[in-house]
Amino acid sequence: MPDLPTLVIVCGLCAAAGFVDAVAGGGGLISLPAYLIAGAPVHIALGTGKLSSMLGVSVVTWKYAKSGFVPWREAVVCVVVSLASSAIGARAVLLVDAKILTVALLVVLPLTAVYVLLHGFGKTDAAPVGPSEEPSAAGADRMRTSPRKTMALIAFVAGLMGFYDGFYGPGSGTFMLLLLTGLAHLTLEESNGICKVVTLASNFAGLVVMLANGSVDVPLGLLSGVFLVLGSYLGARSFSRKGAKVARPMILAVVALFFVKVLTEVV
């Protein structure tokens, strides 16, 4: 466990990550830098982040499943694909030298943040209010492909995002929602449900690989995960259409702080 000041920083930022995820999505853009800013080695940061993230996603997934938002026929296939691809992604990132990975994050993390902020931020990640009695207008207007081709596209997206989530993670929820709605032509409700289940599966598989290789600070991950869940609860209670306006500066500030910290260490 880190010292008390560092612990306060990590837990506070993870609470902010949970809040951001609840009101607009993109919380991983805060939680991963939180561990890195606190001085955790990059592989430990990635592994510990998967533990805390899994706690938060578990709560949200349960809520979605209970509300009937998960199309289980498609979701089960996606879970199987995601478990395998995420394990491969997590194993792959462990093979990358820590210094190379840290420098790569200097480029990847800010670019991911910019993309998420510009595309679908506060839109695609917003949780639906209740089960739809009829297909949404957007979904009804789309011409779906054959069921077999649609399932293949969904499985492909799940595999791609599973690998990405196992290897890196932040922004995966937004990317997957955009791909499911744009490529597979699913409704927002269907995409949200599948996305949550797949994210839970990919976090679990990636976590198992990281644990097996000693790349998880379990006490820190559990503690920060509690704060992440707390932040998610507070964010859900205060959710409004202005959520993205609150979340955007939080993400920008944390990513900027991470960028400056790592850049000074590298230079």
Which tops the pLDDT comparison, 130 or 13?
13
Q: What is the pLDDT at residue 134?
A: 41
Q: Find tokens 């609860």 and name the residue.
A: 233
Report pLDDT digits (tens) over 172-212.
Answer: 887 888 888 888 888 878 888 898 899 999 999 999 999 99
Provide the 10 A C-beta neighbour count for residue 229: 20
Quickly state the pLDDT bin for 169 (edges 50, 70, 90): confident
Give the type of residue at 108. V
Would you say residue 110 has pLDDT above 80?
yes
Q: What is the pLDDT at residue 128?
A: 44
Compute the mean pLDDT over every residue in the chain, rounded to the nearest whole number: 82
Q: Can you list the alpha helix ranges (DSSP code H) found in 119-184?
A: 137-141, 147-167, 172-182
Which range is most confident: 39-48, 83-92, 187-196? 83-92
Distance between CA 160 and CA 180 in Å, rounded? 12
Of 115, 114, 125, which Cα lies nearest the Cα of 25? 125
Q: How far is CA 143 from the centre of its chain?
A: 29
Distance between CA 86 and CA 173 in Å, rounded? 14
Of 209, 198, 123, which Cα lies nearest the Cα of 154? 198
Least confident range of 13-17, 168-172, 197-201: 168-172
pTM, two decimal places: 0.81
Report pLDDT digits (tens) over 224-238.
Answer: 999 999 988 887 666
**What b/e readout covers 48-86, taking b as 16+ CB neighbours within 10 angstroms?**
bbbbbbbbbbbbbbeebbeeebbbeebbebbbebbbbbb
Q: What is the pLDDT at residue 149?
A: 87
- For residue 123, give the 3-state DSSP assignment: coil
First to last CA, the chain: 28
Task: Copy the structure tokens of residue 110.
Answer: 């800010």
